[in-house]
Structure 1
Amino acid sequence: MGSITADPPKPWIETPLIPSLELSKKAGCNIYLKLDLLQPSGSFKSRGVGNLMSLALARHPRPGTVHYFSSSGGNAGLACATTAATLGRPATICVPTTTTPFMVGKIRGLGAQVIQAGENWAAADKYLRGNLLDEDRGGVYVPPFDHPDIWAGARSVVEEIHRQMDGASGRCATPVDAIVCSVGGGGLLCGIMEGITRLKWPGGQRPRVLAMETIGAEGLHLSMKAGKVVTLAEITSLATSLGCTRIADAAFEWAMQGGVVSGTVTDREAVEASVWFADDARLCVEAACGAAISPVYTGELRRLLGEGMSDEEWGGKNVVLEVCGGSNTGFAQLQEYVRKVGL
C-alpha cells in the first residue's frame, strides 16, 4: 500500500458543463449537460463517497490502519474502491447477488475485495455491518447515500454549476431554472438541495429540481404521494443502481419542503433515453442515468416543468441535466438492456 499523507489527493474532479444543441432542439428549451460520468469512478458517487472517505482518513487516530467497508448496488462500491486505491487503503465491498458480473469485475479490478450477499442493497448492507465491519478495528463504514459527508460532497456539483453557467453563456448572472437528477437512495438529491439553498441565484429565484425514478424503484415518488417515507417491498426495475427500498429521511424532508418535482419513467423509457443519448451526445450511460435524460425525449420535461408556459417563455428556460453516469454499462450491457425491454 502507498504511504498516507497529511493531505490526501482529492478523489473527484470538477466536471464540464456543456450546452447540448441536440437535446435543446428536442426539449424546446436550453439544455446543459453536467458530465459527471467523467468522474474517476465513472459516476457522481466519486463526489460524496470520496468526500466521506477523505474526511474519515484525516480524522482517524491511526490512518495507517484504515480499512474501508461499503455496501452498494454497484456505483457507490466502485467509487469506494476507486477512492480507496487513490488513498492507498484497502476496501471491502458487499454487493447484492443481483449485481452484474460486469460491475463485480470492475470493483475487483481496482483491488477491492467483493462479497455478494442478499437480494438487494438493504440485505447486503445488513450483512456487511453484521458480519464484516466489526471484525476490523480500523474499519470505516462507507454508506452509499445516507450521511452528511456524502451530501456535502454531492453539493459540489451545484457549486460547480453555479460557477460554470456564467462561462457557458458568456454573460454574468445566468439563471438556472431547473436541475434534473436521478434518485436512488437520495444522497445526490440531498446534496443538490443543500447547494441550491446555500447559494445566491439571479433574481433570488432558486432552481427547481426534477427528481426522476424508474417505476419499480420509485421510493421518493411514492413517499411524496403518501406524505411519509415508504419502504418498497422489492425492487423490480432493471435500473439496479436506483434499487433502494427506502430513501434517506433527509431526502424526503427536502422534497416535502418544496422546489422538488417528482417524475417517473418506465424501464423501457430509461433504456431508450440511454440509447438515444449515445447517438446524440456520443456518450454511454446506464439506465439509472437514462431516467434523468428520458424526460427530454418523451416530452415530460415540459409537462413537469413548463406546463402553461408559452413556447417563447419555455424556450428561454435553462435546464441542467445531471448526467450522473454509472459504470454498469458499456456496449454489451446497453445491448442487454435493449433486449430486456424489447426495443
Structure 2
Amino acid sequence: MGSMPTPPAETALPKPWVETPLVFSAPLSRQVGCNIYLKLENVQPSGSFKSRGIGNMMLQSLLSSPPSSPDEQTQFLCSSGGNAGLACATTALSFPNAKAIIVVPLSTSPFMIAKLQELGGVNGSVEVVQAGESWVEADTYLREELLAKSEPGVRKVYVPPFDHPDVWTGASSLVDELVQQFPVDKKMDAVVCNVGGGGLVNGICQGIERHLKTLGARPKVLAIETVGADSLYQSVQAGKLVTLPAITSIATSLGARTVSNKTWEWACSYGEKQKDFISSTVTDREAARACLRFLDDARIMVEVSCGATLAPAYNGTLKELLGKDLTEEEWKEKNVVLVVCGGSNVSWEILEKYKQVFDL
C-alpha cells in the first residue's frame, strides 16, 4: 500500500481534486445517537468523489507518459453518462491540450447529457457520443470504434469508471485527509460509503490500511447499496462474486452489475470478515427520503446514490449495523464518518419527482 502520489513540483499539471471539509453534524448526531461527521465530497470540481479517482488516473497517465511533442493531443475516453464521465470531462478541462470523449448509452438522461455538453462548451475540449442501450454496449463502442483507431498527433487513454489501481489510489486520498482532519481526541470508529463498481470503497480500505498505525485501530467500513443495484450485497450473501441480471434501482450511479474483483477481495479480507467490513442495502424510497431530509438538515442537495449512504442514519438502522452489541452509553461515544459523495444527477425537479413517486 504505497503512499499517495503527488505531481512533481516541476510539472505544471494541477491536482484534479481538492481537499474537502470534514464537519460535525449536530442534526444527524441527534438522530443517530452518536457522533456523526460528514466528509463533503460534493464540493469536488466535478461535484462528486470521482474527481479523486478519475482525476488521479488521468494525472498519472500524463506523468508516466508525457506528450511526445507540444502539439500532441491527449484524448481521454470514458464510457459513463454519470459522475465518472463528469469527472473525466472536468479533469480534461484542467490539462493542457487534452480532450475528453464521453460515450454514454442511449438510456442516459437528457439532464446528464446536458451537463456534459455544457462542459464541452467551455473550450470545445469535451465531446459527448451516444451509443448502445446499456453501459456495456457504450463501452464496447468506445473500445472498438474510438479507442482502437489511431489518429495522427493524438494519444488515446482509456479511463475506466472504477476498476483501476490509480482510481483506487486517488480515492484513498480521502482517508489521508480524514487522518489529518479528525479531532485529535476522537477515534474514528467507522466510515460509511456507497458502492457502485467499488472504486470508492476500494480507496477507503486502501487508505485505512496505509494509515492503520496512526489510526490505532481499524475503523469499520459500512458499504451501502440500493436494492436493485446491490451486486456486492448479493455477492456477500452468496459467498462468491455475483453478476446481477439487470439494474432496477433508480440509483443509476450505483449501476454496476458486478463489483470489481478488488472490491470482492476487500469484502473478504478487510479486518475480521463480516465484522469490520459490512455490506448492507436500503430501498430506493429510503435513499430518496434521505436526500430530502439531508437537504433540510444540511442545506446540501445530493443525488439518490449519495442518499443511500445517508439512509441508515435516517431510517434508524445505523446502530444495528455498526453497534448492535453496544449499550446506548457506549454507542453515544462512537464517531462515524458518512462520505457525502455528492453526485450531479439531482435537481429540484428530480427531488420533487421522488416526493411524488414515493409519497414522501
TM-score of the aligned structures, taking structure 2 as reference length: 0.90
Superposed displacement of residue 125, structure 1: 1.5
Superposed displacement of residue 90, structure 1: 0.8
Which amino acid letter does the alignment assign opposite residue 185 of structure 1?
G
- Cα 1:187–1:215 shift into 2, 3 Å: same
Partner of 1:32: 37
Which amino acid letter does the alignment assign opposite residue 96 of structure 1?
P
Native 8 Å contact 2:188 2:215 kept in 1? no
Partner of 1:82: 90
**1:103-142 equivalences in 2 (<5 Å):** 103-111=112-120, 112-137=126-151, 138-142=155-159
In the alignment, the residues of structure 1 paired with residue 197 and residue 215 of structure 2 have an alpha-carbon distance, to the nearest angstrom, of: 32
Native 8 Å contact 1:69 1:91 kept in 2? yes
**1:320-335 equivalences in 2 (<5 Å):** 320-335=337-352
Superposed displacement of residue 308, structure 1: 1.8
Partner of 1:145: 162
Superposed displacement of residue 61, structure 1: 4.5
Native 8 Å contact 2:226 2:281 kept in 1? yes
- Cα 1:199–1:229 shift into 2, 3 Å: same
Superposed displacement of residue 24, structure 1: 0.3
- Cα 1:202–1:309 shift into 2, 3 Å: farther
SS at match of 1:91: strand
Superposed displacement of residue 336, structure 1: 2.4
Superposed displacement of residue 201, structure 1: 5.2
Farther off after superposition, 217-226 or 197-206: 197-206
Partner of 2:208: 196
SS at match of 2:37: strand
Superposed displacement of residue 244, structure 1: 0.8
Partner of 2:4: none
1:94 to 91, 103, 110: 103
Superposed displacement of residue 140, structure 1: 0.3
Native 8 Å contact 1:234 1:245 kept in 2? yes
1:180 to 192, 207, 226: 192
Partner of 2:123: none
1:166-189 Cα distance to aligned partner (Å, 9 max, x none): 3xxxxx252100000010000001
Partner of 1:163: 180
Superposed displacement of residue 331, structure 1: 1.2
**1:38-57 equivalences in 2 (<5 Å):** 38-57=43-62
Partner of 1:293: 310
Unaligned runs of 5+ in 2: 1-9, 121-125
Native 8 Å contact 2:81 2:112 kept in 1? no
Superposed displacement of residue 203, structure 1: 7.2
1:222-245 Cα distance to aligned partner (Å, 9 max, x none): 011112111111100001000111
Partner of 1:216: 228
Partner of 2:22: 17
Superposed displacement of residue 126, structure 1: 1.8
Superposed displacement of residue 72, structure 1: 1.2
Which amino acid letter does the alignment assign opposite residue 83 of structure 2?
N
Partner of 1:6: 11
Native 8 Å contact 2:73 2:99 kept in 1? no
Farther off after superposition, 46-55 or 199-208: 199-208
Partner of 1:169: none
Partner of 2:257: 245
- Cα 1:203–1:134 shift into 2, 3 Å: closer
In the alignment, the residues of structure 2 paired with residue 100 and residue 144 of structure 1 have an alpha-carbon distance, to the nearest angstrom, of: 18
In the alignment, the residues of structure 2 paired with residue 173 and residue 149 of structure 1 have an alpha-carbon distance, to the nearest angstrom, of: 32
In the alignment, the residues of structure 2 paired with residue 219 and residue 124 of structure 1 have an alpha-carbon distance, to the nearest angstrom, of: 20
Which amino acid letter does the alignment assign opposite residue 229 of structure 1?
L
- Count of aligned pairs between the two proteins: 334
Native 8 Å contact 1:120 1:243 kept in 2? no
Superposed displacement of residue 202, structure 1: 6.3
Farther off after superposition, 64-73 or 148-157: 64-73
Off by >4 Å, runs of 4+ in structure 1: none
Native 8 Å contact 2:179 2:215 kept in 1? no
In the alignment, the residues of structure 2 paired with residue 322 and residue 27 of structure 1 have an alpha-carbon distance, to the nearest angstrom, of: 16
In the alignment, the residues of structure 1 paired with residue 150 and residue 63 of structure 2 have an alpha-carbon distance, to the nearest angstrom, of: 18
- Cα 1:272–1:253 shift into 2, 3 Å: same
Native 8 Å contact 2:75 2:100 kept in 1? yes
Calculate percent identity across the aligned residue pairs.
53
